Structure 1
Amino acid sequence: MSNDLVYKRNWWERNWKWFLAVIVLALGIWLFLISVANTNSIDVVQAYSENALYENALAKVNTNDEAISILGNLEPLDQLAILEGSAKYSTDKQRIETTVRIKGSKAKGKMDISAFKKGNNWQYEKINIRINSTKEVISIVK
């Protein structure tokens, strides 16, 4: 008896449906992640170039006695702190809501900034410091 009539299907013929399903699922997940990440990443990159926004806000924090007594001497913001933070610009790029980490000699926290651009300068509507260890919030600009 000869086995010449038995046809054995190759891997592609047996598994093409699974392969296609995995590709479609991976593509869907990739598109979702790109759409979610893209909105904030563009704003964070733009905020990265706004040195004056963060430096002036930190200078205001350094004049607040309550913040200095809790945080201690504040370290200058490094560029990584801005990239790790979050930023959301208005559609005309004249307003920003941003959060960055700050570190003092006594404690660490987050600085929340809400500001708008007037000419070439930033006007602060709100600067809050959230202390990590105590969950206390210090309002620098209200």
Structure 2
Amino acid sequence: MQDDDYQPKKNWWDRNWKWFVPTGCLSLIVLFCLFIGGLFYGVTSMMTNSDAYKEAMNKAQHNELVIQKLGSGIENDGMVSGNISTSDNTGNCNLEIPIKGSKGTGILFVVAHKKVKWNFDELSVYVNSTDEEINLLEK
């Protein structure tokens, strides 16, 4: 055996970099996406679990004119947008909630402030098919 035939054994990095680099990059991308998804889920859950959201949806679901225009079984139809901020017994809420029923779709607009309990400044449903707005605060 000659000394010229001897090749030193490659180190771990030289043997494995071709699969390690793409796997490492992909892992970082997946972790970032999971973080953003978790953050999005947390914010969305905070909005949909709020008393203002629940009370507004309840009023829309039991309003005869909304049921007549959108149909029965009114429920959320997508991503809620807007903001809610609360601190102890005070807070503000400004939400747009896409809703749907058996006959059509609409948007529930909610503007409220909280002093111990939520008081609605605006609560209306925009009916997509007729461009009609139904004020839920009118008696």
Give me the TM-score of the superposition, normalised by structure 1: 0.59
- Distance in 1 of aligned mates of 2:130 and 2:28: 40
In terms of Rg, which structure is larger?
Answer: 2
What displacement does 1:55 show?
1.0
> What is the aligned partner in structure 2 of residue 90 from structure 1?
85
1:61-140 equivalences under 5 Å are 62-64=63-65, 67-71=66-70, 73-77=71-75, 81=76, 84-87=78-81, 88-90=83-85, 92=87, 94-131=91-128, 134=129, 136=131, 138-140=133-135
> What is the aligned partner in structure 2 of residue 46 from structure 1?
46
Count of aligned residue pairs for this structure pair = 130
- Give structure 1 stretches of 5+ with no counterpart: none
RMSD in angstroms over aligned alpha carbons?
A: 3.8
> What is the aligned partner in structure 2 of residue 27 from structure 1?
28
- Give structure 2 stretches of 5+ with no counterpart: none
One-letter identity of the residue aligned with 2:85: S
Bigger strand fraction? 2
Does residue 14 (structure 1) correspond to residue 15 (structure 2)? The answer is yes
